[in-house]
Amino acid sequence: MNELAWRVLGAVFFLGVIAWRLGWWWDGGSAVFWVETSVYALIVLAYVRRTPAYERAHGALEVLLPLVGAVAPFALLAAPWRPVVSERAYVALLLAGGGLAAVSYAFLGGSFAILVEARALRASGPYRFVRHPIYLGQLIAATGVFLGRCVFWEGLVLAAFASVQVARAVLEERKLLRATPGYAEYRARTWMLVPFVL
């Protein structure tokens, strides 16, 4: 499939997600709902603006791992509501994670990809500090969802999701180092995922 077909397919899919949220998942328009929906809208825009890859995804791992990472957080919604934190803390984690992801998608722009691909370097906004702020935002939000349900098996899902995102980041960085001009210098001055930790 060529780049234009992938762009159209991705944009149409995420437009469908937005329509589904507005039609079936509507919760009265809470802040969390709008932050999450804005993330999907920014993904649609990213697909529309997406630039050609310097290097495409190759092999099962570079395709399947990102797809698992994209859907794994939704498994956290399967358990009933049983919070171990206050509703205010739960909402704060969802807003912080979703907000960071939304801002990061806006700064990522045409370099967006779900699969492990290399595109133009982005080093502004949240990317000035961490190389994978979208993954960090997703992990913060997923932690909030877990704390709102707090079932043992969901802890395993959260740990697996975190592991997948770190592995995905490592694969992306190998490809970006090979194919994206300036990435080695950028990598030397930023954190991979969590400032001062990783």
Give 140-162 pLDDT, tens digit per residue: 999 999 999 888 888 999 999 99
pLDDT recorded at residue 12: 93
pLDDT of residue 27 exceeding 70: no
Write out the two tokens for 29: 């328009």
pLDDT recorded at residue 178: 96
H helices of the chain, where? 3-23, 31-49, 59-71, 87-108, 133-149, 152-179, 183-188
Alpha-carbon span 1 to 143, nearest angstrom: 36
Alpha-carbon span 147 to 159, nearest angstrom: 13
pLDDT recorded at residue 28: 67
Q: Counting Cβ atoms within 10 Å, is residue 47 exposed (0-12), middle (13-18) or buried (19+)?
A: buried
pLDDT digits (tens, 9 = 90+) for 85-106: 998 999 999 999 999 999 999 9
Asked if residue 149 lies in contact with residue 85, where contact means CB atoms within 8 angstroms, the answer is no
- Give 75's pLDDT tier (boundaries 50, 70, 90): confident
Amino acid 120 reads A
List, in sequence order, every residue forming a beta bridge with 130; answer none if it has no partner: 191
CA separation, residue 53 to residues 6, 57, 148, 153, 170 (Å) = 12, 9, 38, 37, 18
pLDDT digits (tens, 9 = 90+) for 102-127: 999 999 989 999 999 999 999 999 99
Give residue limits of the domains in the chain.
Answer: 55-188
